[in-house]
Structure formats: structure tokens, C-alpha cells
Structure 1
């Protein structure tokens, strides 16, 4: 069992958190204005061995900077995507990515990009299989041990965790997310996702 905290308590955080809870992990949620069921952001960070950020990209820099000291040594999972919240259109970051920005802001944390390519709608145990195949959870990090922990958590949650190289590859994961959103907005909806087929001889 691991202690996992989410900063944010929206659809992605609650759906993924439910999968982790079902798998036997301890989950807490931290919000800026906590209610009876949530912790404050500092309390949630203190609780979690793994701290998942599922908040708007636009506020990530401020929240990470404010909590930089508390996040030292922790596995930090960046689930965000750089989008315009009004219409889900992408914010193009050029030769950069949100994941790399998070890693630069938190040089003493173990930053992992993961779960950003999966819609909340399919973060449910009855929707994780498509034609007998699990949805893929792509994972990018420069910290191999942290990436392995998150891969195991992805597998525990019912996904197929796939290691996708260093944090620089977060830009590819974020591009996959933009494509996913574009397809959804174009009429395919959010009951959809990507599966990576790897033929093993």
C-alpha cells in the first residue's frame, strides 16, 4: 500500500483516486479551499509518498513554487495538459513541455509525467478495456525508480503502464493528449483512449 495524494479534486483526480483506492492504496485530496472530505494543499503534500497534480496547467507554476520545499524527495506525478480551459484548444509550448517545466521547478523532487493521455471518462474499472486490450498509461521520467513505482501504480489501477523514456518525452505524451482531445472534440467523445500494441516474441 502506498500513500497517494492528489492536488485537485476534479474528475481526473477523483476517478483515478477511486481506482487507486480500489487497488488498496490510501488516497487523500488537497484543495485550495478544502471541505470536510479534503485536506489543504500542504496537508495533502505531507500525507503523500506520491503526490499527483491534477490542476489546471495555468496555475501549476505558482502551486509548485509555493510548495517546493515540501515536495523535496517525493514522487511528483504531473497529470496536467497545457490547454485553453475555455475550449480545450492546445497551448503549444514549442521545444518544451509541462512535464519538463515541472521538473525544472522541482529539481529535488522525482518528477514523473503520467496519466495525462487518459480521459476521466475511462478511468473506471468497467471502461479500461477496448476489444480485450487495456488502455495504456504512458510514463516519462528521468528517475527510473520513480517511473517504476508509477508504472506499478498504473498497473494496479487497471491500466497497462508503459515506460516512455525520460522527462523530455513528456512533450510527446502531451502531444498525444492534444490529439486525444482533438478527436474527442471532433465528435468521437471521451469514451475513448490509446492502446500501445507491443508484439512480444
Structure 2
């Protein structure tokens, strides 16, 4: 599968490496491409799945400029609404970043995923805690798109868990804020959430 990342920071490169290890073809799109990077428009065109790992504050402008190139594609929103200066949460009211993305891209299949996982544990050697895989929570109103991202998460070393519709992106973003709060309290970023579900 062809997968694009918009952004080439720690999350994009670490998660991209996992996807590449799982056999997918990766391209990165940035505002000022260098080396083998693409323009944002070209990266949107390339990917069957297009993952956004850029600051939340930049999302509206980037999505609005490129929504024509994202029609009918799976768009994975990995962002969290935070103040970059101190990692404190931005208040979105009765809304979530994932739902805002979906409103900006009405003709795309928007999925909220991977936003609860730190880049530091997006490596094969750190994806397990006491034999439990890190959970990749997934929310989308498009059932097929959610299943595709779950498969991608599973084959990349995570335990993909679909949690329902995109309204649940609010809860996933809250989990991310909790993760950040624990980190800021001294917990560090070599950490993550595993959802234990006893099988009957």
C-alpha cells in the first residue's frame, strides 16, 4: 500500500519506519521538501492512506489547500491540540481535532489513530510492555477505513483497537493529554497505554 505522511518529524519518521518494515511504500510531504521528500500536494496525491503528523494549528490551512487531492482517500489524523510551548491542551469545547478534520474533508475517509502513542515507543523493541503490545486506538465513521487502519496497526506491531465512530476521537485526544500530563509529571515518554481485554 502507498502511504504518505504530511510532516517528517519524530512521529512521522518513527511510525513510517514501522509501516515500511511491514512492507508498505512510504513518502513524506513537507512545506519545504528536501532530499527525497515531496511537496504536500504531491504527497497527498501519492498516498492511498495519507497520515497527518503536523502541528494541530497548521491543520486547517493545509487541509483546506489540499482537500481536492484527498478526495475518497483514507486520511489519518495523528494530531493533538496542544500548545507547543508547554504541551498544555488547547480547549476545543464539545469537539475534537478528528471531528474538525472530518468537517474540513467531507469527501475523505477520516480516521483518528496513533495520536495516543509517543514517538519514543514507535520502535519494534519498545512496542511491548510485559508481553502486552501497545494499543493503537482507532476511531472513524467509515467502517472499512477503520478496518484498514487496524490491519496496518496490527502488522506494524501494535494491537489495533477500533473504538467506534469519530465522536470518540474526543476520548482518544483526552487519553493523549493524559499521557502528556503523566510525562510532564516525570513519567517520561518511554511509556504508553495497553488496553487489557480478557478473551472469553
What TM bracket, shorter-length normalisation? over 0.9
TM-score, scaled to structure 2:
0.99
Q: Does 1:4 align with 2:3?
A: yes
Determine if the alignment matches structure 1 residue 13 to structure 2 residue 36.
Answer: no
RMSD: 0.4
Question: What's 1:80 paired with?
Answer: 79
2:149 corresponds in structure 1 to 150
Secondary structure in 1 aligned to 2:179? helix
- Post-superposition shift, 1:37? 2.0
In 1, Cα distance between equivalents of 2:93 and 2:131: 36
The runs of at least 4 aligned residues of structure 1 exceeding 2 Å deviation read none
Deviation readout 1:143-195 (Å, 9 max, x if unpaired): 00000000000001100000010000000000000000000111000000000
Quote the residue 1:28 is aligned against. 27
Match of 2:138 in 1: 139
TM-score of the aligned structures, taking structure 1 as reference length: 0.99
Distance 1:180 1:43 in 2: 33
Stretches of structure 1 lacking an aligned partner (at least 5 in a row): none
SS class of match (1:197) = coil
Aligned length: 200
For the residues of structure 2 that align with 1:37 and 1:158, how far apart are their CA atoms? 26
Determine the structure 2 residue equivalent to 1:191.
Answer: 190
Aligned residue number for residue 113 of structure 1: 112
Distance 1:39 1:69 in 2: 17
How far apart, CA to CA, are the structure 2 residues paired with 1:119 and 1:175? 14
Match of 1:175 in 2: 174
2:43 paired residue number: 44
